[in-house]
Structure 1
Amino acid sequence: MSAMEKISVAIIGAGMGGLAAAAGLTRAGLKVMVYEQATKFARLGAGIQIGCNAMKVLRAWDLEPRLRGGAFYPRSWNNREYDTGDIRFDMIFGPVAEEKYGAPYLLAHRGDLHAALASAVPADLIRLDHKLIGFEQLADQTVKLRFANGASAIADAVIAADGVHSFVKDELFGRHQPNFTGRIAYRTVFPASLLNGYAIDDCTKWWGPDRHIVVYYVKPDRSEVYFVTSQPAPGFTVESWSAMGDVNELRRAFADFHPQVRHVLDACPSVHKWALVDRDPLPRWCEDNVTLLGDACHPMTPYMAQGAAMAIEDAAVLSRCLDGVDRDGVANAFRRFEATRRERTSRVQLSSRTNTWLKAPTNPDWVYGYDAWKEPLASPEQPRPV
C-alpha cells in the first residue's frame, strides 16, 4: 500500500451506528463500504431522543437543519408521579439546554434520524442484502468477508455495527446470551389527531411503583405522538421490533395511571412489544483489524435514551482515530478507540440499567456536555494476550 493510498473499511450493519460510522469515515477520506443484511430500509414506528451530545456529532455532518426541521424541540423532559402527576424532576431543555451544552435536544421519529444518517452516506456505498456469514484476518493484515448471497469482499479494516446479537462479536469473543431484564416494552407512534384535541405534555416520564411510560411528540407541528413503556414480564423473551402487542392488555397494565396517560393509551390504535435486554460491559472490543461499535459492544436498556447517541459518539471518535492511518496502524487505532470510549459507554450502560435517570433532581452534565469531536483520545492499550 502506498503512503498516499487510503485504507478500505467495511462496515457491517446499516443501522444508526453503521451509517454514522460511514458518515464520519467518508469525511475523513477513507474508502468505505457498508454491508446490510436487510433488503430495504423500513421506517419503524418508534421515537428517539437525540441528546445534545449526539447533536454535536450530527452537526459536523450538516444534518442539524434537516433534523431541526423534522423533529420536536421540547421544553423539558418532565418526570411525574404515575397517579397524581406530581413533579419529581423537570429537566429543562429548549434554549436553556442548547446554550448550556452547545446543541439542541430533539425528539424525533427513529426512521427520520435513520434517513438523515443515510443521506450523509453516498447511496453507492451501501450494499443491501449482504448478511455476513464468515470472516478471516489474512496474513497481509487485510480481512476477507463472506456473505450469505455468495458475495465476498476484502478490506483493510472491519467495523461491526451489527447490533446486540452481533455475529462478529460472537466470532471474536464467544457467544453469550444477553441479559433479559425480566421486563417488556410496548411502543408505538400514532397521529396526534386521535387525541381529539386533548392536550399532553411535550415529553413526560410517568413513574409508577414497578413500571413507567414515556410520552412525547416526534414532529415539530405536534402531529405525531410516541410512547414507550417498561413493565414486568419475566417469561417474555421476544426481542423483535415488529412483534405486535395487545393494546387492551397494555391499557389494563396502566389502568391506575394519570388520566393523561390513560387518554393516550385509549387513543393509540396498535402497539409493538419486545423484551428489554442489555449486556455487561465487554472487556475488549477489537481484535487486530476488526472492531465492534455501538450495540455490538455496549447494548443498553433505553432508560437514559442514550443507546443511539453512544453509537453516534463512537462513530465520531473512531473516525478521528482512523484519520490518516495506514493498514499497519489500524489495529493500534482500534485499540485507541476502545480505550477512549470504554469507560464512558460502560458508565452509561450501568447507569441506564438502574432506571433512575432523572427520577429525582439530577446533574446531567456528564452525559449531555460530552463532545466526541473534542474528547482527548486515549493512549492505545498494549496488545492483549488471547
Structure 2
Amino acid sequence: MGSATEKFRIVIAGGGIAGLATAIALRAPNRQITVLERSRMLGEVGALISLQPNATKIVEKWGIDKFLEQAEPMPDRTFRIYNVEGQMVRKMALEKETFGADRMLYHRQDLHKGLLDAATSPDLPGPPAVVRTSSPVADCDPEAGTVTLQGGETLEADLIVGADGIHSEVRTAVLSEERRAIPTGISAYRLLIPFENLKDLVLPEKMIESKAIEGSTTMIMGHDKRVIMGPGRGGKVFGVVALVPDEKMNEESSTSSWVEAGSRQKLMESYADFPDWLKNIFAAAPDIALWQLRDIDPLPTWTKGRVILVGDAAHAMLPTQGQGASQSVEDAEALRAFFKNVPAAGTGSRPNADEITSALQSVFAARYERASLIQLYSRQQARPATDGKTSNTVTLDPAQFMKYNCDYEGAEDWLARQRAKSSE
C-alpha cells in the first residue's frame, strides 16, 4: 500500500484515439498518466471517422466540447441506402431525440488533435497526461507492471492500458501468444474529396432532392460491393470508402496500411457495373488510398495482472457499422467508471494489486460481450466476402442493431440492465 505522497501511475501504450480517450477518462487528482506513442505523431491519416450516439453521449459528459468543436464535427442524422440506379431503398433516422445524442462525423486528424489537446490540457480535472512520442513498446510484464520500450528503457506502473492497435505488442503479453490480424476478404479504397470538386457533378435526381450528399451518410450497394460516403470538416470535404471483395479486386491489396496508394483506373474497373455518376465522384478525388481490411477474432480475455487491452488491441472490427472509434470510447468510459474509487478512500494514493485486478475484471465483464457482438456483426455485414470467417450469426436486422449500438448509457448502466434481464 503506497504512502499519501505517491501518485497512482498509469501507462497507456498507444497514442491513437483509444489511448487518448483513455487518458482523458482516467484523469483525476494524484494520478500520473503517461502515453507512449510509437510514431512521431505528425498527424493522423486523412480519413473521415464517426462517433456514434453511444460515444457522443460519453464525450459530452467528459466536458471536452471546446476541444472537439475545433474539429468542426458535423451532425449526421440520417443514414440512406441507395441501389446502383440511384434509388433510395432504405432510410434510417439518427435523431438526437431517439438516442440522446447525435452521430458526429469528424476528419480523423481533427478528432485526434481534439483528444490530444484535451488529454494534455491543464483545464481538465487531474494532472495533464504526458505524451511521449517515438516510444514504441517492445515488451510488457503484466504481473510486475512494467513496460519495456524498444530502446531498452523500462517503465513501472500501477495500471497499464494496451491501446496499441491491431498489431498490439501488449496483447501478446496478456495472452502469452501472438494473435495476428486476420484478412477479412475485403479491401477498401479511401477517397477524401474537397467539396469544391463536386459542385458541378450531375447526380441522380432523388439523391439531389434528399440532399444526401450534403447532410447525411449515404451507402450505395450492389454487385457484392458497397460505397459509403459522407461530409466532414464542416462540409469542406467529402469522404468516400469503397469496399471490394478481394477476389474481385483488379489490383493487389496485401497491406493493412491506410496510406498505400491505390489505382484510380483499377478502382474504376472494380466499379465498372456501377453508374457513371458514382464514377464521376471517384474521378473528383485528388488521390486514392487502398488497404486490406483486417480484424481479430474475439479474444479469450483482455486482462492479466495489472494490464487491460482496449480499442483495436482488444476487439479490432470492420468499419461496416462505423463503431470502431465509438467502442474505444466505451472502453475508456468503463475504465473511468470502475476506477473512480481506486484506490479506496483512506488506503493511500496508490492502489494495491488486488484493487487493480478487481477493477479490471469489472471493466472486462461490462465490455466483453457487447464489444464482441458488435465485432461479429460488423464482420457479418460484410458478407459474402467474410463468409466462413465465423460460425456464429447475429439475427438482428440493421435497425435493431442500430438501437443495440446507440441505446447505451455507460458500463455501469449496461451491467445493471444485463443483471435485470437475467433475473426476469
TM-score scaled to structure 2, two decimals? 0.82
Amino acid at match of 1:105: R
Displacement, 1:100? 1.7
Q: 1:62 & 1:29 partners in 2: Cα distance?
A: 20
Change in CA separation of 1:374 and 1:191 when aligned onto 2, cut-off 3 Å: same
- Which residue matches 2:227? 213
Counterpart among 163, 166, 170 of residue 164 in structure 1: 166
- Which residue matches 1:226? 239
Displacement, 1:3? 6.4
Kindly provide the CA deviation profile for residues 286-306 of structure 1, in whole angstroms up to 9, marking residues without a partner as x.
111111111101000110000
Q: 1:263 & 1:28 partners in 2: Cα distance?
A: 54
Change in CA separation of 1:216 and 1:376 when aligned onto 2, cut-off 3 Å: closer
Alpha-carbon contact 2:408-2:414 (below 8 Å) kept: no
- Which residue matches 2:44? 43
- Which residue matches 1:337? 363
Q: 1:355 & 1:29 partners in 2: Cα distance?
A: 44
1:214-363 paired onto structure 2 within 5 Å: 214-220=228-234, 222-234=235-247, 236-325=253-342, 326-328=351-353, 329-355=355-381, 362=400
Amino acid at match of 1:20: A
TM-score scaled to structure 1, two decimals? 0.89
Q: 1:294 & 1:323 partners in 2: Cα distance?
A: 20
Q: Which moved more, 1:226-235 or 1:125-134?
A: 226-235
Q: 2:275 & 2:269 partners in 1: Cα distance?
A: 13
1:1-386 paired onto structure 2 within 5 Å: 1-2=1-2, 4=4, 5-27=6-28, 30-68=31-69, 70-81=72-83, 83-93=84-94, 97-122=95-120, 125-137=130-142, 142-173=144-175, 174-198=177-201, 200-202=213-215, 203-220=217-234, 222-234=235-247, 236-325=253-342, 326-328=351-353, 329-355=355-381, 362=400, 364-372=402-410, 374-377=412-415
Matched residues, percent identical?
28
Q: 1:265 & 1:195 partners in 2: Cα distance?
A: 10
Displacement, 1:249? 1.0
- Which residue matches 1:382? none
Displacement, 1:339? 0.7
Q: 1:8 & 1:327 partners in 2: Cα distance?
A: 12
Alpha-carbon contact 1:88-1:359 (below 8 Å) kept: no
Change in CA separation of 1:68 and 1:119 when aligned onto 2, cut-off 3 Å: closer
Amino acid at match of 1:163: G
Change in CA separation of 1:63 and 1:88 when aligned onto 2, cut-off 3 Å: farther
Q: 1:360 & 1:317 partners in 2: Cα distance?
A: 26
Aligned length: 370
Counterpart of 1:118 in 2: which secondary structure? helix
Q: 1:165 & 1:158 partners in 2: Cα distance?
A: 17
Change in CA separation of 1:137 and 1:355 when aligned onto 2, cut-off 3 Å: closer
Change in CA separation of 1:85 and 1:196 when aligned onto 2, cut-off 3 Å: closer
Alpha-carbon contact 2:253-2:290 (below 8 Å) kept: no
Q: 2:405 & 2:398 partners in 1: Cα distance?
A: 16
